[in-house]
Amino acid sequence: MNKNTYSNRLMNNMKVDDLNHLVIGGVSAVEIAKKYGTPVNVYDLTLIKEKIKTFKNAFSKYENLTQVAYASKAFSSLALFEVLAEEDVSLDVVSGGELYLALKAGFEKSRIHFHGNNKSYEELKTAISEQIGCIVVDNFYEIVMIEKLVNELNVTIDILLRVTPGVEAHTHEYITTGQADSKFGFDLASGQVDQAIKQIKEIENINMIGLHSHIGSQIFEVEGYEIVIEKLLQKASEWKKMYDFNLKVLNVGGGFGIKYTDDDSPLPLDKYAKAIIRSVRTHSAANNLNLPEIWIEPGRSIVGEAGTTLYTVGTQKDIPQIRKYVSVDGGMADNIRPALYQAKYSGVLANKVVDLNEEVVSIAGKACESGDMLMWDVVLPQPKPGDILAMFSTGAYGYAMASNYNRLTKPAVVFIENGNDFLAIRRETVEDYLKLENSIKNWE
Ligand SMILES: *Cc1c(COP(=O)(O)O)cnc(C)c1O
């Protein structure tokens, strides 16, 4: 195998240097591992910016305004929010914690949207008193709390109504269900949404500007979005006649798929955007509506492929005829997705990318848990203790879902751009634990 065929296994902007080392964004992954230790989450900032540009360019062809709102839950950090603010994207937050970080990063308040199925009174109070861009209202109790708050604070707030449209999308399938069984949003089929607008219309300080739906994640087809757009625009047309409702914003959520392994064949991101635009134009015209603003909420598709986790290889266990386990210095504590969703990943050894002596191994994490596996049956060049494993496409729902299980400390997060590296989040240390803990000796 030569370097060229091998480079098919690399992702996006990665390269192999003369030392046969993996290069991410112009920086040697081996040098990063040496400088910051492992496990370390590396983000190629150039790639994040490219993904944002792709969406923005595709939407620039649309006749009305658009917003690309990054879904913070995929990965949030102060430095990332600062970068996103510069890139002029909007931000979805789903908790007081994410909102706090966004405000600390100096994110423009009018571009922050607040999501969640159980926002607390305190969280809503902060969001409303800070006058963020909008609240995506999820349920009836939330309407009651928001009404109380806008009256108390004597302010108005823009909201979107989260609709459960009875369409669920998973990768290559989308399922249209009569009755959507979901903890999120107001159900369309049963008329919960109609009940909701009736209530909201009566509240003077709540300004309902549009509708929202999010149909799933890691979606590789456009049909699910098209069905939802048709359903929501029909509903908007009905409400226009009944309530003189003006649909200013149509938010179709996130879920755009990315590549983890060769088995994934996601659409180019602009294809999703173009299909969404086409569908909004068609169904707005058919329903006699003005073109609404289009908002989307990509999370995974912005940061997923830009992230690579570097681990150091440790022990091995070879069970003849059965399996060779190769353990690394991280695992389910820094990436729960394989254990939680049977998620598949791919990777290479960063210190010997191209090597003819390959074997099939399974990569185990270091937690005391049989389920702590990162990859099953991957082909790698005979991993040895001290080798650096680079696991690809770990940028979304990796660090964001990290825990301290087994008292493992959270990895460092390093940003890379134009051959430079920057420590965005330092590695957690065991001393950090003691900041939270109290000795029993202090109990008198
Ligand atoms: C999770 C989520 C997203 C982001 O989904 P991705 O698959 O990461 O793009 C967007 N909107 C809502 C409401 C979500 O819950």
pLDDT tens, position by position, 242-279? 999 999 999 999 999 999 999 999 999 999 999 999 99
Q: Which residues line ligand 1 (CB under 6 A)?
A: 71, 73-74, 92, 115, 214, 217, 253-256, 297-301, 396
Residues 214, 199: one domain? Answer: yes
Whether the predicted pLDDT of 338 surpasses 50: yes
Residue 220 or residue 168, greater confidence: 220
Q: Classify residue 438: in a domain, yes or no.
A: no
Residues 75, 210: one domain? Answer: yes
Residues 50, 93: one domain? Answer: yes
Q: Classify residue 383: in a domain, yes or no.
A: yes
Pairing of strands 206-212, 388-392: unpaired
Q: What is the pLDDT of residue 7?
A: 53
DSSP output for 346-366: -EEETTS-S-S--EEEEEE-S
Rounded to an integer, the average pLDDT of 51-72 is: 98
Q: Classify residue 261: in a domain, yes or no.
A: yes
Stated pTM of the model: 0.96
Residues 184, 126: one domain? Answer: yes
Question: How many A from CA of 364 to the centre of ligand 1?
Answer: 29
Average pLDDT, whole number, for the chain?
95
Q: What is the pLDDT of residue 110?
A: 97
For a substitution probing ligand 1, which of 54, 73, 250, 393 has the most ligand atoms within 8 Å of its CB? 73
Q: Which is the closest atom of ligand 1 to the Cα of 300?
A: 8
Rounded to an integer, the average pLDDT of 289-305 is: 98
Q: The tokens of 294 are what?
A: 């289009």
Q: Classify residue 439: in a domain, yes or no.
A: no
Alpha-carbon distance of 273 to 51, in angstroms, equals 12
The residue segments making up the domain with residue 406 are 3-37+306-433
pLDDT-derived band at 173, boundaries 50, 70, 90: low
Residues 358, 404: one domain? Answer: yes
Q: Classify residue 13: in a domain, yes or no.
A: yes
Looking at 259, 282, 301, the residue that finishes a domain is 301
Which residue, chain included where needed, has tokens 């240097």?
17
Q: Exposed, middle or buried, 318 (CB in 10 Å: 0-12/13-18/19+)?
A: exposed
Q: What is the pLDDT of residue 4?
A: 45
Rounded to an integer, the average pLDDT of 330-335 is: 98
Which residue, chain included where needed, has tokens 């979805």?
92
| Domains of the chain: total | 2
DSSP H/E element including 302: helix 300-303
Which of the following is catalytic: 319, 322, 356, 368? Answer: 368
Residues 105, 132: one domain? Answer: yes
pLDDT tens, position by position, 371-406? 999 999 999 999 999 999 999 999 999 999 999 999
Q: Classify residue 89: in a domain, yes or no.
A: yes
Residues 255, 155: one domain? Answer: yes
Q: Classify residue 179: in a domain, yes or no.
A: yes
